[in-house]
Structure 1
Amino acid sequence: MEAWRCLVVILGQPLVRIPATLRLFCHDCFIEGCDASIMIASPNGDAEKDYSDNLSLAGDGFDTVVKAKQAVEAQCPGVVSCADILALAARDVVVLEAGGPTCFANRLYSFSSSFPVDPSLDPDYAKKLMSACRLDVDPRISVYMDPQTPQTFDNAYYQNLVAGRGLFTSDEVLTNSASKPTVIDFANTPGNFNGAFITAMRNLGRVGVKTGNEGETRKDCAAFNHGDS
C-alpha cells in the first residue's frame, strides 16, 4: 500500500515520469528477465543500464523506482523488491510519452532532396509541428507524440498513424503492407488494442522472474546488497 501511495504522488509529477517508467520496465524485462537489473549502477560503466540501447532511458524512470523503494524501505525494510516496484509502476501507466523535437526535425525540413517535408505526413499536422519546432527551437521543448489525446492511454496512436500523423519515421513504417492491417484494426477497435496490450505486458512481466534463492531483495536498487556484481 505504501508503494502504491508513493507512486501516485511521484507519477502525478512531470508527465515524462510515467512513460519513462514504462519504458524502463520493458528494457529491464527484455534483458535477462524482469529483475530490475537495469537499475544496477557500475563505476566501470559496464552495467546493463550502460548498454548503448539503454543510454536513452530517461532518468525520471529510474528516479521513480528509487523514490518508491525508499518510501517502502522506511515502512517495511527488506520485503518489497525493486523488480516488484518497477512492475507496479509499469502497471499503473496511463499516458503516452512526449518527445523532443530533434528526433523528427528531418521529417519537417530535410526529408529528401525532392521533398523537404515528409510527404507521408498529414499537411496540417506538419504545419503544427513546424510552428512548435522551428529550426532554431530550443531542443528541450517537448512535443506530444499523440496530439489527439496526449494524456490518456488509448488507441489514438493508431488512429493518428492512419491519418498520417505518426511523429517519427519509425512510427510511419508501421503502415507498410505487413503491419497496416493490424494498425487499422487497433485504430478502429479499442478493445482489440487494449486486449493485445494487456496480453503483451502480462507475458513480458513473466519473463525471467527470479524466485526463492535466485535473487535478492536489494536495499538499494542501484547496488547489490553485498557489493558483488
Structure 2
Amino acid sequence: MANAGIVLLGIVAFLGLVEAQLKLGYYDESCPRAEQIVQDFVHKHISNAPVLAAPLLRMQFHDCFVRGCDASVLLNSTKAGNQTEKAANPNLTLRGFSFIDSVKSSLEAECPGVVSCADIIALIARDAVVTIGGPSWPVRTGRRDGTISNATEALQNIPPPSSNFSSLQTIFASKGLDLKDLVLLSGAHTIGVAHCSSFSNRLYNFTGKGDEDPSLDSEYAANLEVRKCMSPNDNTTIVEMDPGSFRTFDLSYYRLLLKRRGLFQSDAALTTSATTKSYVTQLVDGPLQNFFGEFGQSMVKMGQVGVLTGSTGEIRKHCAFVN
C-alpha cells in the first residue's frame, strides 16, 4: 500500500507540474495580442462557415492522442520512409490544416517564433466551439511543438469508429482520461459529419456475413441505407453525426445514443457499460449548462496530455515542418 501511495503522489505531482508549466496568459508579455489574433480570425471565418468548427475541434483530439498535445499531427511527410501522422488512415479525412497555417502566419507576422502550433490548435478548437454557440473553457498555454510524427503511432493511438467499450477504456486510460472524460469528449460528435465508410459495416456486413449491427435502431439503419449510404463501398457520401442538429452544440447526441441511434460503434459502446450509460443519462436529464461545464473540464484535461514545455520541443516557424 505504501508503494501505491508513492506512485499516486508521483502522478499527482506530475499533473501539478504540467499545470504549473502551462498557464493562462502565457503570452501576455511575449506576444500580448496572440490570443486576440486567434479569436478574431476564428470568429470571422467560422461565423461564415460554421461547419468548420467540428473538424477544427477534431484536430485537437487527433493531436493530443498521439504523442500528447505537441502539434505532431500537423507535420508533413518528408520522404517515403517517414510517413507522418497526416498519412495515417484516421487522419486522411482531417480538415483545417490551411486554416491553422493562416492563423500561424498572422501570429508570425506579429511575434516571430513565439507562439507554438500546439497552442494554436488548442486555442482554435475552443474559439471555434464558442463561435457556434458551444461552451467555453480556459486554455492554458505554454506548449511547445514536437519534432517527431509517425503514421504508425496514429493508427495505434486514435480510437477507430469501430472501437468497443473495452478498447475505448484502455486508450483513454493510457492518456490519463477516465470514463467520464470518455463520455464527455465523445459529446463532440454533437457537431460535424462522417463518411459512410466509417460505419457502413454496421449496415451491410457487421460480422462478415452480410448482416446488420443488431445494436443499431432498425428504423435509423434503414434510413441510412435508403437515403444516405446506399452501397457498402461508398467512400464519398457524408452523413450528419447528430441528424438534424449537427451544427448545434447540444444534448441531442446523447438522446440519440439512448435510442440506439449512435452513428459509430464507438458511440453505441457508451451504452454497453453501466457506468458510461449512467453518465449519458445524467447528461440527458440535466440542463445543457451542466454538459457545457463538464465538457470544458474534460477538454482542459485532454489539453494537458503529454505536453512539451520549458526547453523540450521547439516553436515551429511553419506548422507543417520542423525548424
Q: Deviation digits for residues 191-216 of structure 1, max 9, x if unmatched?
A: 44333311111112123333343333
What SS is found at the alignment partner of 1:92?
helix
| 1:202 matched residue in structure 2 | 300
| 2:91 matched residue in structure 1 | 56
What SS is found at the alignment partner of 1:86?
helix
2:291 to 171, 174, 193: 193
Conserved 8 A contact 2:43-2:128: no
2:311 to 195, 202, 213: 213
1:90 to 114, 122, 125: 125
| 2:279 matched residue in structure 1 | 182
Q: Deviation digits for residues 105-127 of structure 1, max 9, x if unmatched?
A: 23223345898443333333223
User: Distance in 1 between the 2:299 and 2:54 partners?
Assistant: 14
Q: Which aligned pairs between 1:95-110 and structure 2 lie closer than 5 A?
A: 96-110=191-205
| 1:143 matched residue in structure 2 | 239
Q: Deviation digits for residues 151-198 of structure 1, max 9, x if unmatched?
A: 011221111000111112221121113322122122222344333311
Conserved 8 A contact 1:69-1:221: yes
Alpha-carbon spacing, 1:22–1:47, altered in 2? closer, same or farther (3 Å): farther
What SS is found at the alignment partner of 1:99?
strand
User: Distance in 1 between the 2:272 and 2:234 partners?
Assistant: 33
Q: Which aligned pairs between 1:25-44 and structure 2 lie closer than 5 A?
A: 25-44=60-79
1:173 to 241, 253, 269: 269
Q: Deviation digits for residues 44-70 of structure 1, max 9, x if unmatched?
A: 353651574x64253423222112111
What SS is found at the alignment partner of 1:214?
coil
User: RMSD of the alignment, in Å?
Assistant: 2.8
| 1:8 matched residue in structure 2 | 43
Deviation at 1:12, TM superposition (A): 4.5
User: Distance in 2 between the 1:102 and 1:42 partners?
Assistant: 25
Alpha-carbon spacing, 1:136–1:83, altered in 2? closer, same or farther (3 Å): closer
User: Distance in 1 between the 2:235 and 2:87 partners?
Assistant: 24
What SS is found at the alignment partner of 1:221?
coil
User: Distance in 1 between the 2:52 and 2:315 partners?
Assistant: 24
Alpha-carbon spacing, 1:31–1:108, altered in 2? closer, same or farther (3 Å): closer
Q: Which amino acid aligns with 2:285?
A: N
Conserved 8 A contact 1:10-1:64: no
Percent identity over paired residues = 42
Alpha-carbon spacing, 1:102–1:184, altered in 2? closer, same or farther (3 Å): same
User: Distance in 1 between the 2:292 and 2:253 partners?
Assistant: 12
Q: Which runs of 5+ in 2 are unaligned?
A: 1-35, 130-189
1:154 to 247, 250, 255: 250
Deviation at 1:221, TM superposition (A): 0.8
Scaled by the length of structure 1, the TM-score of the pair is: 0.82
Alpha-carbon spacing, 1:203–1:153, altered in 2? closer, same or farther (3 Å): same
| 1:122 matched residue in structure 2 | 217
Conserved 8 A contact 1:24-1:57: no
User: Distance in 1 between the 2:72 and 2:107 partners?
Assistant: 19
Conserved 8 A contact 1:40-1:47: no
Conserved 8 A contact 1:161-1:175: yes
Deviates more, 1:95-104 or 1:5-14: 5-14
Deviation at 1:149, TM superposition (A): 1.4
